[in-house]
Amino acid sequence: MLALPSSRPQRVTDGEDARRLARYVLSGARTRPVLVVTARGNAHDAWNDVAAIATLTGGALDVALLDGAGRTVDGADETFNAALAVDGHGTPGVYNGAARLYPAPPAATTLYYLDTAAHRGRLIADLLRRDDDAAATGPSAAPSEDAVRRFVDRSDETRSYDLEELRRRHPAHVIRTKAEARGLAELLLSPERRKPVVVVSRSAGSRRACVDVDLISTMLHGLAATVMLDSNEAISEFKRHVAQPAWVFGDAGRVFPADASWNDPKARMRLFLPNEHVSRMLLTNIMIKDALLLVADGLRGEVSGTGARRTDHTE
């Protein structure tokens, strides 16, 4: 059973404890920061991470793991997020192998990705950050509770503008009809196009796309277009108008460069597919990175005079 506050890491595997954790996070009487970690695949590794964080921070904050292996009806993370949505007045949740730090009292929160050692290192570095006057205690000493709280407060202040920016989202274009799919193919094949286009498809049986298409669209706003094929009808029609190596169907995605060289039966295009080793957020970031690399290639070509201009808007 969940026992908070506690200097020991907590493991949440059932719906009642997930709701109890949400109530604790939202409590105005809470005096300690809470780090909530989710397990995307290997719960054993995630628990090791949680235990290490609790040890490194010297019990200065509460640490809880939402263990998806518990197999509650909706999953511990979904139950936790649903409880926040009902009672939290917009307090963001956490999911898919990531972690979120909730300060005390509740305020703006920080989301951390845990897919790689570098991601986990950033989380640990942030949690262990000290004020200059605390550095004299030495790097091996555990931070005090006040030091962790000062970091959390400082984090709220510096990230508030970022949170406002994230609210200004630019949703992806959603295509469901044959006519819209033909229009997409015409756009991709147009010699007038000067920007990359990200195309993602969602299968009929999937609750959501394999990547966060709205986040991709927001991050690439003004640099590239983002489109989601959201029906079997649209996917089938799109396939009729482009070469087979450029097909996008099922749960997948491609990044189309700002020319038509990809539309060739012998062309090779990178296909982004979900798998158990890559989280949805990491796959999203990889697609964004590929699109930005194409944008950079276009800018270099423009400067050198060897490529087409890539500053026009793609509509």
Q: Do the domains spanning 10-167 and 173-304 agree at the CATH topology level?
A: yes
- Asked if pLDDT for residue 311 goes beyond 50, the answer is no
CATH class of 173-304: alpha beta
In this prediction, residue 159 has a pLDDT band, given cuts at 50, 70 and 90, of very low
pLDDT tops 60 at residue 149: no
Q: Residue ranges of the domains in the chain?
A: 10-167, 173-304
Name the most confidently modeled range: 55-64, 81-90, 222-231: 222-231
pLDDT over 70 percentage in the chain: 74
Q: What is the pLDDT of residue 106?
A: 60
- Confidence category of residue 133, pLDDT binned at 50, 70, 90: very low
R_g of the chain, CA atoms, integer Å: 23
Q: What is the pLDDT of residue 200?
A: 98
Q: Give me the mean pLDDT over the 98-124 stretch.
A: 75
Give the pLDDT of residue 163: 44
What local confidence, expressed as pLDDT, does residue 304 receive?
A: 64
CATH class of 10-167: alpha beta
Burial profile 1-40: b = 16 or more Cβ within 10 angstroms, e = fewer: ebebeeeebbbbbbbebbbbbbebbbeeebebbbbbbbbb
End-to-end CA distance of the chain, in Å?
Answer: 54
Provide the 10 A C-beta neighbour count for residue 157: 10
Q: Which of 11-15, 91-95, 271-275 shows the lowest per-residue confidence on average (mean pLDDT)?
A: 91-95
More confident residue, 216 or 128: 216
- What was the pLDDT predicted at 60? 84
pLDDT at residue 47, as a whole number: 80
171 residue type, one letter: P
Per-range mean pLDDT, top range of 13-27, 48-62, 66-80, 144-158: 13-27
Q: pLDDT tens across 242-299, in order?
A: 999 999 999 999 999 998 999 999 999 999 999 877 888 889 999 999 999 998 888 7
pLDDT of 180 reads: 95
